[in-house]
Structure 1
Amino acid sequence: MLPITRINRNIRSLKRYRQVLGILIQYGFGHIVEQLNIDYYVELGKRIVSLGTASRELERLSQAERMRLALEELGPTFIKLGQLLSTRPDVVPAEYLDELKKLQDRVPAVDSDLIRAQLHLELGQPVEDLFESFEPTPIATASIAQVHRGRLKTGEQVALKIRRPNIESVIETDVDILMGLAYLVDKHLPGGEMYDPIGLVKEFRRTIYRELDFSREGRTIDRFSSNLEDNEHVRIPKVYWEYSGRSVLTMEYLSGIKISNVDELLREGYDPKLIARHGATTFLEQVFEHGFFHADPHPGNLHILPGNVICIFDFGMVGRLDDDLKYQLTELLFAVLKRDVDHIISQLLYSGELVDESNVKNLKRDLAEFIDDYYDVLLQDLKVGKMLIDFIEILTEYRIKFPSNLMLLSRSLIAMEGIGRQLDPEFNMVEHLRPFTERIVKERYSPANLSKELSKTVQSYQSLGKSLPRDIKEFINRVNRNKFKIDLEHRGLERMITDLDKSTNRISFSMVIAALIIGSSLIMQTDKGPILFGFPVLGLFGYTVAGFLGFGLAIAILRSGRM
């Protein structure tokens, strides 16, 4: 089955598909569209897209800038995809990362009547029956939702996050298109499989569908509230579940000073240095104690309340670290800080990420140079997030894949360090990081944990011992019954097969045209049948059909650019 058939075969999908291709071509990515061989799948008697070049104004922009503009024009789904890719330095080059971080949801507000209808549909009652007041003008708008202020009948001020009407169908269509494009990238672009485009789109599909369900975000907020309930320096908005659902999330309305507005914080008597320390400690507590952290800590999501309390908003993007990943991260951080290249290599080998022995020597050299770059940097000047990004870039060159949650953590660390240094020029993330990592290492090598690990290992070998005889017997039985099969998959030949099909079809088409011309010429030598202008009608008809077919074939060859 052709990959492109994964796209819904309805008018809306085909129209959107053409629109996506047209915008990519408009912004100067026609060469990629051609490499994907898309015309082979979407031609219906004529070429759907005409490959061109970007306008002169766009040509003056870098490819990264044009990609950002194209994603913004393509709309909500592609903007969200760009935002996800901005967290993946292992996949996206640095110049593209910087541009993708600038992606903005530039969307107008939905009409208030439609928003009221959406509230009524989700909550089952008219807005007037549920709320004492509801402000029709949103206080924030985004591609998926917009936020309105309101007041409950009981007097509490609330913020209502309301999903834009019909956004689900738009995203569903776009995700289908992205999956089709991912299959084409994987099959037709050289080295495309290295970046696992299909896996990326699957990850994106899971993320954006979860984001569409506001009840999930509500449960996430409740989980953060539970995790941080003993932290007096943090405030998480309360969720009003009786006024919430899949498309509406009603939360406690809290208003403070944006954490990046240092001048206003000082005027109001807040302590920026104390806020920086509390913010770092809270973030690292989320990472190393709970393994569940806020993955989008930009200044817009962090406000300061009286008492130097940090209020956290928007829990649509979160990261998770299990115990094994925390241990691996901790060991790597310690190895980098101790400048121990051999330990870094051993950790990569242990985790199974490094399998190509021929690259170990070069990787060791590059890691040593990376550590040398940080050798003379004072701890108070060391940027942990930036160091992780540089480390990941080296691993990416050697095709060593890192879990996506570590990418989220790197981005979040960079954001938190930036905020911390803005609040306190002497802020030192390593100082806050060291106690958490030391505790993780002590816990890992504690007698209780070692005993637990030993027990798990014994159980694993016990299970293997039980299943091994059965598996060997099944293998031998399959061989004896001639039912043992090995599946082989060829890669990189699809474009050649497609071109061969095109060439074969053109040859066949030419033979049909030649047969029509020869047959018509023979008929023209006879005087039988109806006569028109002194020539047999059947012969004239054959020449006409051959002429049209030949003209169409010539146009197709010329437009393909391959004579």
Structure 2
Amino acid sequence: MLNLRRLNRNIRSLGRYRQILGTLLKYGFGQVLDQLQIRFIVQRSRRIFSGGRQIRAARRQTPAVRLRLAMEELGPTFIKFGQLLSTRPDILPPEYITEFSRLQDDLPPVPFAQIHQQITKELGQPLERLFSHLEMTPLATASIAQVHHARLLDGKKVAVKIRRPDIEHIIATDLDILMSLAHLAEHHLPALHIYNPVALVKEFRRSVQRELNFTREGHTLERFADNFAEDSTFHVPRMYRELSGETVLTMEFIEGIKVSDFARLRNAGYDLSTIAHHGADALLKQVLIHGLFHGDPHPGNIFVMPGPVVCFLDYGMVGRLDRTLKYQLIDLLFGILERDVEKVTRLLLESGEMDEEPLLTDLKKVVSDFIDDYYEVPLQEIHTGHLLTDLINIFVQFHISVPPDLLILARALITMEGIGRQLDPGFNMVGHLKPFMERLARERLTPSYLAKELNDVAGDYGMLLRRLPRDVRTLLLRMNRNRLKINLEHRGLNQLITDLDKSSNRLSFSMLISALIVGSSLIMQVDKGPSVMGFPVLGFLGYTIAAVLGLWLAVAILRSGRL
């Protein structure tokens, strides 16, 4: 029974694989797929998606637009993947970032009967024992879940977030296919090696699996609530643990005004400048004090409550800054303000990973130019978004991989700064940032911090001294037994080997065609054997086969785009 279930899953995966490749072919990415060496599926899909007015119109768009359209057509997993890629300016050109930022995961709502079944299955009780009322029409729908308004038995308003049935299996199948394509891309497309497609898909898998588990989001809500328990300017929705689980999350219903609804905010008597300041302070506290921050504070996720109190919704995407990365970021900002090129260069190299050491002289020159661009600019005129974008461009230029959480932070700060400037044209994120930087700088001089640093260093040296004799003994033992191995990795040869293999096959094929032509010509000179209209049948047949094979070879070369 288990083998039959696995066989059915594999058959569905193959059908989905063909659908994905067919959609990519439909939008003009056939040449890329040809390089992945999956000829059978690609050829079958090419026959299906070979033409059509809509297809020809789509192929006239730019590659970035075509890829976005393909992702929208392929559904939730690929839309989520595109949204993740839109946060990675370190690996994608600006036009792709712009297009992927337009991806929306709005889907038709799940029928209420399935929602009813999902809630009762997860919470283990009939619906009437859980809620006095549950709206049949959802407040919002997305690729992974939809949200319904409800009332508890005591009359309190709540929002119930329910995961779409079977979405976990759909995403799991797509993730397996994405991982397969990533491995093929890494093997057959050396130019993509520096972007590490496999690691990118693994990062996406971790992200989407966290988002699928509402228990994790509930714990995150509780952590944020604890962090801001004493803050009167920021509110975190209450999570009802007894009415939540892996596929259902019940939260306090927030009755407020969207931060983007400026007219309603003014009519309600709110000071927009105060709202901007509260929102910025809340985000910076999350980042620099707690090390856990909301990763997607766009206007649809921010509400203003009486006070004014700012409230963020949807904690499915969060970023984390550990102590090391947090202080590296602060040191980096201080280095820019102090015009310390050496310090900024060192911190850039420490904060990311790279395949090859960049030319230090070139990196210092670029860093120096970057600092000069901001050194003479008044603090109130510095745009955090521009500064972070320029900083990320340096990472990209020198192939230094940026920590994913740092990219989430950059996006969150840029988004919040944009909201702040819409609320208050004089808003300045850097001005809000400076007090936090000074606070952290003072914190590093306290006895408790210095004692912890000293304790960490002592622990590292203690671990080194404990492990060093054993590691040296293991190394010497392997050398004595001739078991010491050195692994060498060649890069960039896979494509060369593939191209040489294709060239040798074409050369062999050409020689076969030449042999047929020469042999047929010799037979034509001999007046023996069966003939038709005075021509030897074997000679005529040889010419025909040579012509067919020659035409087939010419078409194959033309289709490859390499004459």
* SS of residue matched to 1:137: coil
Aligned to 1:32: 32
Aligned to 2:526: none
* SS of residue matched to 1:435: helix
Matched length = 541
Aligned to 2:533: none
Cα distance change, pair 558–300 in 1 and its aligned pair in 2 (3 A): same
- The aligned amino acid for 2:328 is Q
* SS of residue matched to 2:146: strand
- The aligned amino acid for 2:84 is L
Moved more, 497-506 or 373-382: 497-506
1:205: Cα distance to partner? 0.2
Aligned to 1:16: 16
Moved more, 148-157 or 217-226: 148-157
1:465: Cα distance to partner? 1.9
Given candidates 552, 555, 560, the residue that maps to 1:558 is 555
Cα distance change, pair 510–117 in 1 and its aligned pair in 2 (3 A): farther
* SS of residue matched to 2:400: coil
Q: Deviations over 1:282-321 (max 9, x none)?
A: 1111111100000100111110111111121100000000
Cα distance change, pair 237–9 in 1 and its aligned pair in 2 (3 A): closer
Normalised by the length of structure 1, the TM-score is 0.87
1:507: Cα distance to partner? 8.8
- The aligned amino acid for 2:396 is T
Moved more, 137-146 or 333-342: 333-342
Moved more, 183-192 or 291-300: 183-192
1:8: Cα distance to partner? 10
1:122: Cα distance to partner? 1.5
- The aligned amino acid for 1:558 is V
Aligned to 2:124: 124
1:14: Cα distance to partner? 1.2
Distance 1:14 1:48 in 2: 17
Cα distance change, pair 465–51 in 1 and its aligned pair in 2 (3 A): farther
* SS of residue matched to 2:426: coil
Distance 1:489 1:95 in 2: 34
- Could you tell me which runs of 5 or more consecutive residues in structure 2 were left unpaired when the two chains were aligned: 1-6, 520-529, 531-536
Q: Which runs of 4+ in 1 moved over 6 A?
A: 43-54, 503-515, 547-554
Cα distance change, pair 504–129 in 1 and its aligned pair in 2 (3 A): farther
Distance 2:428 2:45 in 1: 62
Aligned to 2:248: 248
- The aligned amino acid for 1:263 is A
Q: Deviations over 1:340-372 (max 9, x none)?
A: 222211323455757966612112222222223
Moved more, 134-143 or 180-189: 180-189
Cα distance change, pair 509–14 in 1 and its aligned pair in 2 (3 A): farther
1:511: Cα distance to partner? 11
- The aligned amino acid for 1:189 is L
Distance 2:508 2:428 in 1: 72
- The aligned amino acid for 2:555 is L
Cα distance change, pair 267–382 in 1 and its aligned pair in 2 (3 A): same
Distance 1:358 1:402 in 2: 15
Aligned to 2:231: 231
Distance 2:267 2:546 in 1: 80
Distance 2:442 2:8 in 1: 53
CA contact (8 A) 2:351 2:402 kept: no
Cα distance change, pair 374–559 in 1 and its aligned pair in 2 (3 A): same
Q: Deviations over 1:174-224 (max 9, x none)?
A: 101111111122122232111111111000001101111111111111111
- After superposition, the CA RMSD in angstroms is 3.5
Distance 1:355 1:14 in 2: 35
CA contact (8 A) 2:305 2:311 kept: yes
Distance 1:552 1:70 in 2: 36
Seq. identity, %: 52
Cα distance change, pair 551–208 in 1 and its aligned pair in 2 (3 A): farther
* SS of residue matched to 1:207: helix
* SS of residue matched to 2:359: helix
* SS of residue matched to 1:310: strand
Moved more, 48-57 or 426-435: 48-57
Cα distance change, pair 233–302 in 1 and its aligned pair in 2 (3 A): same
Moved more, 353-362 or 234-243: 353-362
